[in-house]
Amino acid sequence: MEGLIILARRKRIEILTVVGARPQFIKAAMVSAAIDRHGREQEPEIAEKIVHTGQHYDHEMSRIFFDEMGIPKPAVNLGVGSGSHAETTGSMMVGVEAEIISQKPDLVLVYGDTNSTLAGAMAAAKLDVPDAHVEAGLRSFNRRMPEEINRILTDRVSTLLLCPTLRAVENLAAEGITDGVHHTGDVMYDAALAFGEIAMRESRILSREKLTPKRYYLVTVHRAENTDDPARLRGILDGLRELARELPVVLPLHPRTRKAIAAHGFEKLCEGIRILQPVSYLDMVRLEKDATVILTDSGGIQKEAYFHGVPCVTLRDETEWVETVEQGWNLTVGADPKRIADAARQAGTGKQIEEYGNGSAAAVVLSCIQASLLTDH
Ligand code: UD1
Ligand code: UDP
């Protein structure tokens, strides 16, 4: 009853969204669009301000997504940039804390598992402002990944835990976290549906790169465990060169990996691999849809392979997206060249995965936020 009384009184909900890295722009695009639709149509009005931490700053790692996906311009960019984990996470916390104090939002919204996620969630929790975590509950059970630490800590302090999969809900329950947990579906599936046809119509990447549909491998590599370990990076590049003898291997290269290749002196190991600058979301979706197989260590791209019906080979020893493996879409092969090449030749499609939802996860996220703010006061 109390909640219903507040519902009648509250006219406006203010959300402070904290983003900073490429995959967060893509996830936030869908929720921002849902907020925009809601804000115009219904009461209470929902208003959003975006804080960009500046974790990613190159045009093709940041601005391009805001322009192409119509994400509202950030109210502020903290300009934190690159550095050690403690330096960047600490600076982001300081910046987000100041924004929370000045903006006085009703809720802080964070996405995924990057340092920007953790900084946003921690700053909110310390100021006793509710925090919603989109993509809560994912676990690789590998604590050497900085992302796993970010996931565990963010989930520990978040008020609302918005899970893309049922396994994520179970992971939280196993850690004793059940309050505020909701299965929403995956906002990245919303994005894949919303932009899939547009990408087919508007992207010119295939003709620009002279690629034939279903006659190339698409690859991305950027995980610290692969770029910072020369043996693993060498193994991956060896596997890709082997595949490049059969079909073009297209690699839009993350700046971290470009720098690692130079630092390890691995330029020669890239011969025969078609290295591109990071591409826009529409170009990426187009490349994904027409790839014969996708090889990646990205979290988001493993699922996008499934969304677009393309087999995936994961260049890691484990994955948080276990359902893609269980339903036959994804093979985790690590960094061994023979396993990589063999898996790419064998990879196939699998069964339908229901738990990512039906393309309306962003709307579910928004309803959960509303319901929680209306009942928690
Ligand atoms: C970060 C996330 C990772 C996510 C990835 C998405 C953390 C700990 N890691 O990894 O979970 O999968 O983003 O892409 O938060 N750099 C540039 N230009 C940029 C951005 C980065 O040159 O615009 C280079 C810098 O040399 C930087 C390095 O990339 O030191 C790594 O960037 P960082 O943001 O620390 O981590 P990512 O590897 O991007
Ligand atoms: N992506 C993109 N251009 C690229 C590489 C990736 O638009 O050159 C998109 C990709 O389609 C997915 C997201 O970025 O939506 C994944 O981000 P990334 O792999 O950097 O991070 P992760 O998902 O591993 O955290």
Q: What is the pLDDT along the chain (377 residues), one digit of tens a residue?
A: 444 445 445 788 999 999 999 999 999 999 999 999 997 678 889 999 999 999 999 999 999 999 999 999 999 999 999 999 999 999 999 999 999 999 999 999 999 999 999 999 999 999 999 999 999 999 999 999 999 999 999 999 999 999 999 999 999 999 999 999 999 999 999 999 999 999 999 999 999 999 999 999 999 999 999 999 999 999 999 999 999 999 999 999 999 999 999 999 999 999 999 999 999 999 999 999 999 999 999 999 999 999 999 999 999 999 999 999 999 999 999 999 999 999 999 999 999 999 999 999 999 999 999 999 987 44
Nearest-atom number in ligand 1 for the CA of 224 is: 38
Of the residues 140, 256, 297, 316, which should be mutated to test ligand 1's pocket, given the most ligand atoms within 8 Å of the CB? 256
Separation of 39 CA from ligand 1 center, angstroms? 33
Q: Is the dihedral of CA 124, 129, 135, 141 positive or negative?
A: positive
Which token pair is 189? Answer: 């599936």
Instruction: Give the Å distances, CA to CA, from 236 to 57, 231, 251, 346.
Output: 27, 9, 12, 17
Using CB distances shorter than 6 Å, the residues near ligand 2 are 22-23, 26, 220, 222, 252, 278-279, 281, 284, 298-301, 304
Separation of 300 CA from ligand 2 center, angstroms? 6
Q: Which domains does the chain have, with CATH numbers?
A: 2-186+357-376 (3.40.50.2000), 204-354 (3.40.50.2000)
Whole-angstrom Cα distance, residue 127 to residue 102?
A: 12
Nearest CA residue ID for atom 10, ligand 2: 301
Crossing angle of the two packed helices 22-41 and 361-375, in degrees rounded to 10: 70
Which residue among 38, 182, 222, 308 is the active-site one?
Answer: 222
User: Which strand (E) or helix (H) includes residue 238?
Assistant: helix 230-244
In tens, the pLDDT along 324-345 reads: 999 999 999 999 999 999 999 9
Whole-angstrom Cα distance, residue 116 to residue 330?
A: 28
90 lines ligand 1 (CB under 6 A): no
CA 212 to chain centre: 28
For residues 59, 60, 66 and 68, what is the CA-based torsion angle, rounded to 10 degrees? 130
Nearest CA residue ID for atom 18, ligand 1: 58
The answer to whether 340 and 295 have CB atoms below 8 angstroms apart is yes
